[in-house]
Structure 1
Amino acid sequence: MLSILIPTYNYNVNALVKDLHDMAVLENIAFEIIVLDDASANVFSSETTLENVTYLRNEKNLGRTLTRKKLAETAVYENILFLDADVIPVSNDFIAKHVLEMKKDFQVVLGGYAYEKTKPERKNILRYKYGKEREERSASIRNLNPYGFIFSGNILIKKRIFLENNYSDALNLYGMDIFFAYKLYTNNVKVNHIDNPIYHLGLEANEVFFKKCLESVISRKQFLENEEGIEKVNGLLRHYKKLKKYRLTGLVSIGFKITGPFLKKMIFKKDPSLFCLDIYRLGYICAIK
């Protein structure tokens, strides 16, 4: 009935698996939990006595996109629940809420993200603030723009729908959730957001998250810049296409080279400016070839 799929890399998922297993058992459903390690340098224990739990490992690093594809192809059941490795359910009825959605006519259901109230160390504050202000949203807000809040770290989806819309090439790029969201949008796949969040625990260091943000900008420009209707899915590309329409990208690129160091300083301060991060990404997408 339900395949719970967890791609992992250098992260211990044992506590997450135990919680999910206990919740699934209480629902008295047919289920499986599959963990696929993407050739981690740090190999955590994969031995388990838990029924219906399987640990697999890639012989070489395939990247997030192909690892998720491999998990979906391995799954026994048509209903699959993808969870990131560095998360933990907020509520004890997390699986119960998803099972309830499975009884409805669903195609894609997103439970949402949450972040703990206690702020992390300064070295992780940029990722925390971004998540708190941009990702932690109620279902009522997310459903106003359903394709704009596609996060693959907590998504219940039909196996067929996932395989038809997932990017299938061997790319290890950050930010491909945007491509996935666009595919769902263009194929008119019904997306529903519910209030069933997970806590995102694995906060990257400021420098790592900032680098990933720029990688995401590159992947958006490379794969989605000229796609019809992309502005309805992604705000950055919506603003970029407006600048491009009025032939202002060159001017913005020049301005970015001048103001970039200042913007970066504001992004990495004690209380990071997400507005400056937005401006930086817009300047960056205009500047890259």
Structure 2
Amino acid sequence: MISVLIPTYRWNSFPLVEKIHHQISKAEIPFEIIVIDDASNDDSVTQNKQSINLSNTSFQILTENIGRSVIRNLLAEKARFSWLLFLDADVMTDDDNFIHNYIQAIQSTDFNVFVGGMYYKETYTKSSSLRWKFGKFREAVSMEERLNNPMRYLFSANFLIRKSIFKDIRFNEKLKGYGYEDFLFAKDLSNHGFSILHIDNPIYHLEIDSNKKFVDKTKQGIKNLAYLFHSKTYNIHEIKLVKTLKKYKGLIFLITPFSKLFEKLSLQFSLLFFFDLFRITYLYKMIKKLK
């Protein structure tokens, strides 16, 4: 019935696998758990190999890093069952009914895609507070807001989809690295007429990136966004960052020379105000660079 798919990279995913395995075994349904490591070279490989001791669970380590979109598509190709539950390796659930809640959603509705949501615990250090604040105030939104904007809040960290749908709508492998693969996937679902049902079944993130790592990931994501801006393949003008750029283009042109300063202030003070100024000016620079 359900294939649980977990991509991992330099992270001990075994506690998550063990917990999910316990819950799904109790549910007494056909299942498998597939974990694929994206060519890690640290101690997490040894830790994750413990997964093979669990029934119906496999672990594979790749010889080269293939990236976020490709590894998720690979996981889906290996899946045997009709429903695919994607979970990030660095998440956890407090709810003993996490798997049951998804099974209940499948059995009680006609939807093909379910998103459980996410939240952030009050656990972070000063050096990682920028990522925590962004997650807390930009990603961990209320159920009401998720229902009002179902496509916007599809995150690959925690969602369930019918395999027959995923076979036709996969993660876009043209995007390299971090950023906006979830958005494109949601857009493809919408373009094909599929709706997303958000349910109250959240996970929380265990790994909170340092400010430096988060800013570096953000740069990669904005490069992807600049690529999409020029490709004209997708209508990305509903993305808030793009809407802001179009609305205040003249002002953003004037403040773009201060982009490095905004980046520095983001790292130093962990304020979303400076982080937003950095993101919008960096996007302007990347769009100009690709012209």
2: CA distance, partners of 1:192 / 1:227: 26
1: CA distance, partners of 2:126 / 2:71: 32
1: CA distance, partners of 2:168 / 2:228: 17
CA contact (8 A) 1:3 1:31 kept: yes
Number of residue pairs matched?
Answer: 280
* Superposed displacement of residue 171, structure 1: 4.7
1: CA distance, partners of 2:192 / 2:152: 15
* Superposed displacement of residue 217, structure 1: 1.1
2: CA distance, partners of 1:145 / 1:171: 23
Identity of aligned residues (%): 35
Structure 1 SS opposite 2:268: coil
Match of 1:161 among 165, 183, 186: 165
Number of the residue aligned with 1:30: 30
Aligned 1:29-68 pairs, distance under 5 A: 29-42=29-42, 43-45=45-47, 46-47=49-50, 48-68=52-72
1:134 equivalent to 2:138? Answer: yes
Gaps of 5+ in 2: none
Q: For each residue in 1:105-151, what CA deviation from the matched residue of structure 2 results, as whole angstroms up to 9, or x when unmatched? A: 12211111111123x11111111111111111222211111111121
Aligned 1:250-289 pairs, distance under 5 A: 252-257=252-257, 259-270=258-269, 272-288=270-286, 289=289
2: CA distance, partners of 1:187 / 1:281: 31
CA contact (8 A) 2:245 2:252 kept: no
> Structure 2 length normalisation: TM-score?
0.90
Residue identity matched to 1:266? L
Structure 2 SS opposite 1:39: coil
Residue identity matched to 2:273? F
Structure 2 SS opposite 1:96: helix
Deviates more, 1:56-65 or 1:162-171: 162-171
Gaps of 5+ in 1: none
Number of the residue aligned with 2:241: 236
Structure 1 SS opposite 2:11: coil
CA contact (8 A) 1:9 1:40 kept: yes
2: CA distance, partners of 1:188 / 1:34: 29
Structure 1 SS opposite 2:59: strand
Number of the residue aligned with 2:19: 19
1:108 equivalent to 2:118? Answer: no
Q: Which runs of 4+ in 1 moved over 6 A?
A: none
Residue identity matched to 2:130? L
2: CA distance, partners of 1:235 / 1:170: 22
Aligned 1:112-191 pairs, distance under 5 A: 112-118=117-123, 120-169=124-173, 171-175=175-179, 176-191=181-196
Deviates more, 1:165-174 or 1:180-189: 165-174
2: CA distance, partners of 1:133 / 1:80: 28
